[in-house]
Structure 1
Amino acid sequence: MDLKDIKIEDPFWGHMQELVTDVVIPFQEDVLNDRQPGVEKSHAIENFKIAAGLSQGEFYGMVFQDSDVAKWLEGVAYSLIIKPDAALEKRADDIIDIIAAAQQPDGYLNTYFTIKEPEHRWQNLLECHELYCAGHMMEAAVAYYDATGKDKLLKVMEGMAGHIIDRFGPDKLPGIPGHQEVEIGLMRMYHATGNEAYKKQARYFLEERGKNPAFFAEEAAKRDWKHFGMIPEDTKYNQSHATIYEQDEAVGHSVRAVYMYTAMADLAATEHDEKLFDACERLWNNMTEKKMYITGGIGSTVEGEAFTKEYELPNDMAYAETCASIGLVFFAKQMLKMSKNGKYADAMERELYNGIISGMQLDGKRFFYVNPLEVNPGVSGEIFGYKHVIPERPGWYACACCPPNLVRMVTSLGRYAWDEDDDVIYSHLFIGQEARLKKADIKVVSEYPWKGHVSYSITPKTGDEFAVAIHIPGYLKSFEVTLNGMRLK
């Protein structure tokens, strides 16, 4: 779905998008440039300047600090569709110029290793997030190209993708990402360019995972250094304990899991791969039926930000990372490509209204990483076992994956509202909007979520017959449909 064809006009989500475009994006831009006093230092833009030789200094931040810039840029791209802003676009172009200058002659792009440990490139896939950062920047590149038609960042990431493809694969070096994401990025690069090599590489990373559960332990044995001190034998943590076709339970780090499931579902739908879709379905059912909070939160424990046992979902110790809820929306939308089952749309709605926007304060300047269902003053944030359950949203984080993830989620909302095939238009979400689809222009007027009234005005574009399938939320016990004033049910 092309975001340029969707204009959100909704009393709830319209306000949320305006908050992100007008407040959150400029605020985060200042944070990424270390211009926002009183919050955790980012240094992420400066890292790119140093890597590009445009500034002097040392790398600062997490090994995956580059990904904060990538997610923010992706959100900017969607924002420029919602609300064109020449000044913001110029500033984004300038940042892209810096990123391009930081790319190495062989296509490699990663500020941590370029600045700090160039001799250790690609030696620690378990911990060091090179492929993760590449995936996020690929997503940003595609989004910016789609929004503006400018391909500078896309060409940069084609160079990085080529570098990755030349290095990892059959008859090359074996490799899988310690934190899945590059698979999503490669699939988006494939959809944008039509280059089959990107889709092939995404499949390689997915299907190589778990073939050798000892891969990360063998990798660790080849080097004499660690980064975080992760345990390479804990293969369930990063879902490398079994192949994707053998896994039937959601285990380990929840964000890693849903990012992997998203790419699996995208590939399954793209290639009409029933075996791969069946694997996705098994994981979906286990996760959403046995390991998901009523809010849609997943990953119930702070220990590894992970899934635990079935139905082990404590309210006051919940982790339920914002990024994990966002990733579940990604997964659900890809599943809807293959199967128009309402349970996927139900999950998207649950996450959007409950598990995701709780991660941002209404002023757009404070954010939750953890989303508990219960907070007890004097205990939450203070007592052992509850220190992650902070009662107030901070302005930023040392590990700031969630705030820019929220930006790209809210600004890309239109991508999740519709699907369209040869003879059916599918409406997944009750969001007020004007949608220019292939078969029809549709105006949706919604009083959701405060009231249950939603109307659709449909203007066909051709003389061909088609159906409009509107998702009815699974929690509804009764509903009424009228067509041109005539009651249908």
Structure 2
Amino acid sequence: MLTSKSFLFLLGLTGTLPLAAQQRADYPIQAVPFTKVKLTDNFWQPRLQTNTSVTIPASFQRCEATNRVKNFEMAAAHSGKFATTYPFDDTDIYKTLEGASYSLSLEPDKKLEAYLDELIAKVGAAQEPDGYLYTARTIDPAHPHAWAGKERWEKERELSHELYNSGHLYEAAVAYYQATGKKNLLNIALKNADLVCATFGPGKRAVAPGHEIVEMGLVKLYRATGKPEYLSTAKFFIEQRGHYKGYDAKSTDVWRSGQYWQDDKPVVAQTEAVGHAVRAEYLYSAMADVAALTGDKALLAAVDTIWNNMVAKKMYVTGGTGAVGGGERFGDNYELPNATAYNETCASVADIYWNQRMFQLHGDAKYADIMEKVLYNGLISGVGLDGKSFFYSNAMQIKNSTGFKDTEPARSGWFDCSCCPTNLARLFPSLPGYVYGQKGRDIYVNLFVSGSTDLAVQNKAVRLTQQNNYPWQGDLKFTVNQAATSDFNLLVRIPGWARNEAMPSNLYTFATPSAEKVVIKVNGQPIDYQLRNGYAVLVRKWKKNDMVEVNLPMEVRTVVAHPRVLDDAGKVALQRGPVMYCAEWKDNDGRASNIIVPAGTTFTATPKPDVLNGITELSATVPVVKLDVANNSINTVRQTLTAIPYYAWANRGKGEMTVWFPQQVTDVELVTRPAKDVSQGK
């Protein structure tokens, strides 16, 4: 019998396993469940509240308005015509259900819960008697979606996304049961999962799922129920990659070789992050899950190698991944163009999932460093400050010259493929679950977010409280509160950027080293501390109201890229604390692409509580290139550069933006603008 206690494993983070699954291999480090972390943070708490009050309701409204809900109603009636564009549109409902469930776990809302029950009833009515659930076929089995094939699972490898839909269903079902104790969505998911396990496996049907996530979802159900078939089927799907005979192994084309689907070779033989970035990072997350739960050392070695490749050669300075728009995929090593950067928001969501799992496997701060980089930059750039406008791709540069290929210059409320808005809706409320980790007597602090958490160390209750104004200030305070003296180790992450490490690789480095040191005090007295895998290890018999103070230097640093990143040659990016900055047209006389940041430029950081919901702004006097049309000449003049956090761009209209700044003029680009077609009134 399932109990609500069994469902504290959320997002694969941590929790209490049912008896059937206890004492098995698992992650060495368990994350503290998001339900046990209460935020009072000035940076993240407003965003979580906006997600609850704006993003999730807007997502449900748009699912209704775009006929995503209608698809389920028609499937139940076995009548009508599939009313949306893609066969995976069902997942937008599942992901929003998941996000709403997390919100219910933090803030009960009877009206929202009643709506979810109505929606779940429609999902259940659309399910076929044997558990199959896929509206793109069930509405009219004789005329299914063009991507679906004539028979079930026929095009799962290529296009149908049947198992992708199932994976998101499983994740939503676990979340809703954990939040409410109701089994209505869970029963739907288990019925579908039993069908999947009966259909696929040794001696049965074999396929490498075209869009991974069913593997992660099956692991969730395994954690919830202890049913071994769910874990073994997840492992089976992972191991099916690289065995399809229909690809051309010698082809350099990512589709013909199978690389787009991470299917060109068995996963244990893969060494690079390749193909569709979202699919890839879901796969790598599942590989970490299965490696942890089965002790598969070959799988663990492969996922370690792939992570090293991505962080050393295939990640943007903002944490974005998936450089190439064609196929939404990773490019070659060091292929990180700015003008055409893709950086799908969903890839940042997947990257958070993956790096959390890597931390739980290894206990190394470098994984939390990447999580922090993604969270404060490449992920939250994907949603506007209004909570209801979104980027699908996240540009590194917007330039208004004719002939220059821009990516999205402005956010949209919704997309035909709206995977990104709904992915954000489910990630935000789970964010408290990424703050802390625990392994026996070791308590890890990964993210600096004001609030408190309740823990148990050797059966003694401990409350740990954070107070800070991060990411704008580096003064961190941690207060230990418990009834009796507790003997445990507090491991506080010292961010790589505070240790002269811009990236846990040589892909990005600081232009000049800093002499500033991280100072730690306990009860007001400076202490010496040892670093272990990037964590300051504080070993102590903690007493009530013991206070730890950590001072992180918040200098403005210039970042340079590896020489093989050709688009960034001779350029610098700006970083303060964990936040990457950009210049936007609004603050810089209508331009951003004409700004030069010479070596040695001194910046001033100024709090701006009334700008863009509160930011710290950077400014400096620098040369900018100006065009003198009257005299047909160009020259440089001194001007104030104003830089804002990258995540905040495009909230004040369309215009130029750039993350990377040349340090000197090396060339001039001449652009011929086409004459206006007066006859057409253009």
2:51 aligned with 1:23 = no
Q: Give the Cα–Cα distance (whole angstroms) in 2 for the partners of residues 374 and 367 of structure 1.
A: 17
SS at match of 2:411: coil
Specify the alignment match of 2:185 in structure 1: 153
Task: Please state which structure has a larger fraction of its residues in strand.
Answer: 2
Cα deviation 1:198-222 (Å, max 9, x = unaligned): 1111111011211x132579xxxxx
Tell me the equivalent position of 1:207.
239
What amino acid is aligned across from residue 279 of structure 2 in structure 1?
Answer: R
Aligned equivalent of 1:235: 258
Distance 1:276 1:488 in 2: 41
SS at match of 1:245: helix
Residue from 509, 516, 521 that aligns with 1:482: 521
Closer/same/farther in 2, CA of residues 104 and 232 from structure 1, 3 Å limit: farther
Partner residue of 1:182?
214
* 1:422 matched to 2:445: no
- Residue among 325, 329, 337 paired with 2:352: 329
| Counterpart selection for 1:63 from 79, 87, 96 | 87
SS of structure 1 residue aligned to 2:465: strand
Q: How far is the alpha carbon of 1:54 from its aligned partner? A: 8.9
- Give 1:115's aligned residue: 139
Structure 1 residue 336: Cα displacement: 1.2
Deviation readout 1:172-230 (Å, 9 max, x if unpaired) = 111220111100101111112211111111111011211x132579xxxxxxxxxxxx9
The reply on whether 1:8 has 2:39 as its aligned counterpart is yes
Residue in structure 1 matched with residue 195 of structure 2 by the alignment:
163
State how far apart, in whole Å, the 2-side matches of 1:350 and 1:231 are: 29
Conserved? CA contact 1:441–1:461, under 8 Å: no
Return the structure number with greater helix share. 1
Q: Of residues 80, 100, 103 in structure 1, which corresponds to 2:127?
A: 103
Q: Which of 157, 164, 170 is matched with 1:138 structurally?
A: 170
In structure 2, stretches of 5+ residues that fail to align are: 1-31, 145-149, 500-516, 529-682
Tell me the TM-score normalized by structure 2: 0.66
Structure 1 position 470 matched with structure 2 position 492: yes
Q: Which amino acid aligns with 2:211?
A: H
Q: For residue 477 of structure 2, give the secondary structure of its aligned residue in structure 1.
A: strand
SS in 2 for 1:412: helix
Q: Write the deviation string for residues 370-426 of structure 1: whole angstroms up to 9, x where unpaired.
A: 1011111355xxx58x35x02111111001000010111111101211111112111
**1:93 — aligned with what?**
117
Answer whether contact 1:441 1:460 (CA < 8 A) is retained. yes
**How big is the shift at 1:345?**
0.2
The correspondence for 1:448, drawn from 456, 466, 470, is 470
Which whole-Å CA distance do the structure 2 matches of 1:275 and 1:413 have between them?
A: 30
Alignment match, 1:457: 479
Q: Answer yes or no: is the 8 Å Cα contact 1:209–1:244 preserved in 2.
A: yes
The CA distance in 2 between the partners of 1:99 and 1:215, in whole Å, is: 35
Q: Is the 8 A contact 1:44 1:61 kept in 2?
A: no
Deviations 1:64-98 (A, max 9, x none): 00111111011001111222211011101110111
User: Which segment is superposed worse, 156-165 or 418-427?
Assistant: 418-427
- Unmatched 5+ stretches in structure 1: 35-41, 218-229
| Partner of residue 72, structure 2 | 48
Amino acid of the residue matched to residue 59 of structure 1?
A: A
**In structure 1, what is the Cα distance between the partners aligned to 2:166 and 2:193?**
8
Say whether 1:376 aligns with 2:415. no
Report SS of the residue matched to 1:481: strand
Describe the superposition over 1:155-186 as per-residue Cα deviations: whole angstroms up to 9, x where unpaired.
Answer: 11111111011111101111220111100101
Q: Distance in 2 between matches of 1:245 and 1:352?
A: 29
TM-score when scaled to structure 1?
Answer: 0.91
Tell me which amino acid in the other structure corresponds to 2:438: E
Larger displacement relative to structure 2 (230-239 or 167-176) = 230-239
The alignment's C-alpha RMSD in Å is: 1.8
Deviation at 1:233, TM superposition (A): 2.8
Give SS of 2:463's match. Answer: strand
- Secondary structure at the aligned position of 2:91 is classed as helix
Equivalent position of 1:405 in the other structure: 423
1:227 corresponds to = none
Deviation at 1:120, TM superposition (A): 2.6
Query: Is 1:261 equivalent to 2:284 in the alignment?
Result: yes
Q: What is the CA-CA distance between 1:446 and the residue it aligns to?
A: 2.0
Give the corresponding residue for 1:280. Answer: 303
Q: How far apart in 2 are the matches of 1:281 and 1:417? A: 22
Trace 1:278-317 onto structure 2 (pairs within 5 A).
278-317=301-340
> Which structure: larger Rg?
2
Please tell me the residue identity of whatever aligns with 1:97. Answer: A
Matched, 1:395 2:413: yes
In 1, Cα distance between equivalents of 2:85 and 2:464: 46
Runs of 4+ displaced beyond 6 Å: none
- Number of paired residues? 464
One-letter code of the match for 2:454?
R
- With over 3 angstroms needed to count, the CA separation of the structure-2 counterparts of 1:77 and 1:462, relative to structure 1, is farther
CA shift, 1:121, in A, is 1.7
1:196 matched to 2:228: yes
- Partners in 2 of 1:396 and 1:201 — Cα distance? 34
Identity of aligned residues (%): 40
Alpha-carbon distance, 1:56 to partner: 5.0
Take 2:375 and 2:182, find their aligned partners in 1: how far apart are those partners?
Answer: 30
Q: What is the identity, as a one-letter code, of the residue corresponding to 2:239?
A: E
- Please give the alpha-carbon distance, in whole angstroms, between the structure 1 residues aligned to 2:481 and 2:69: 46
Instruction: Tell me the SS of whatever aligns to 2:77.
Output: coil
The residue number in structure 2 matching 1:220 is none
SS of the counterpart of 1:437? strand
Distance in 2 between the 1:215 and 1:199 partners?
A: 27
Higher relative contact order (CA 8 A, sep 6+): 1
Shift of the alpha carbon at 1:433?
Answer: 1.7
What is the match of residue 225 of structure 1? none
1:356 pairs with 2:398: no
Q: Give the distance between the partners of 1:329 and 1:160, measured in 2 at CA.
A: 27
Q: How far apart are the structure 2 equivalents of 1:283 and 1:83?
A: 38
Offset at 1:9?
1.3
- Higher mean alpha-carbon deviation, 134-143 vs 45-54, is at 45-54
Measured in 2, the distance between the counterparts of 1:437 and 1:109 equals 40
Q: Give the conservation status (yes or no) of the 8 Å contact 1:25–1:407.
A: yes
Alpha-carbon distance in structure 1 between the residues aligned to 2:282 and 2:456:
29
1:10–1:55 distance in 2 versus 1, CA, 3 Å: farther
Counterpart residue number, 2:626? none
Contact 1:21 1:83 in 2 (8 A): no
Kindly state the Cα deviation for residue 352 of structure 1 after the two structures are TM-superposed.
0.3
Opposite residue 85 of structure 2, the aligned amino acid is G
Change (3 A) 1:362 1:55: farther
